Structure 1
Amino acid sequence: MPYALFCNDAQISKAYPDESDVWKIAQRSGLVVDITTDEERHGPRRVLDNDYEIKPCRAAQGEDPARNKAEAERDSRLELELNS
């Protein structure tokens, strides 16, 4: 089942094959923050900012989550090259 980024129950990203793919997209978009932990956990933990959530979803008709992942990875590499 693909996953996507949601805000207030509205899907705001393309569908991606795995939840970890959406975490990467959210991180690059500045939507992931580190918070301090409680006594049970050591070190900071990542959470999504504000009302963002990562949830399972259905891919839109004609949408290919694997292609979305490949395009996101290509865009990320291109951005790194341009910033170098």
Structure 2
Amino acid sequence: MAYALFNDDKQIGPGLPSEPEVWKHALDDGLISDIPVADEAGGQVLPARYHVKEIKLEECCAPDPAWELPSEIS
């Protein structure tokens, strides 16, 4: 299995072996501006509409080259 970063239901990052690698790659590539941190309930506080999910290797695809980081994340 692999993991990838998604914006809503659109994959915006490559499939990688673990969630921490997905977040590091997204940070290194400028897709996110900060690594998510745990909130009081123990969950993650993610930028709006962003999430990491497990994908099957055959689902792994290249990110959409037309996708751009929003100028503001609320």
Query: Which of these two proteins has the greater Rg computed from alpha carbons?
Result: 1
**1:3-82 maps to which residues of 2 (within 5 A)?**
3-28=3-28, 29=30, 30-32=32-34, 37-38=39-40, 47-60=45-58
Residue 45 of structure 2 aligns to a residue whose secondary structure is strand
TM-score by length of 2: 0.55
Q: Which runs of 5 or more residues in structure 2 are unaligned? A: 62-74
Runs of 4+ in 1 over 6 A off after TM superposition: none
Identity rate, percent: 31
- How many equivalent pairs are there? 59
- State the Cα distance separating 1:14 from its structure 2 match: 1.0
**Larger relative contact order (C-alpha < 8 A, sep ≥ 6)?**
2
- More helix, by proportion: 1
Q: Which runs of 5 or more residues in structure 1 are unaligned? A: 64-84
Q: CA RMSD in A?
A: 3.4
TM-score by length of 1: 0.50
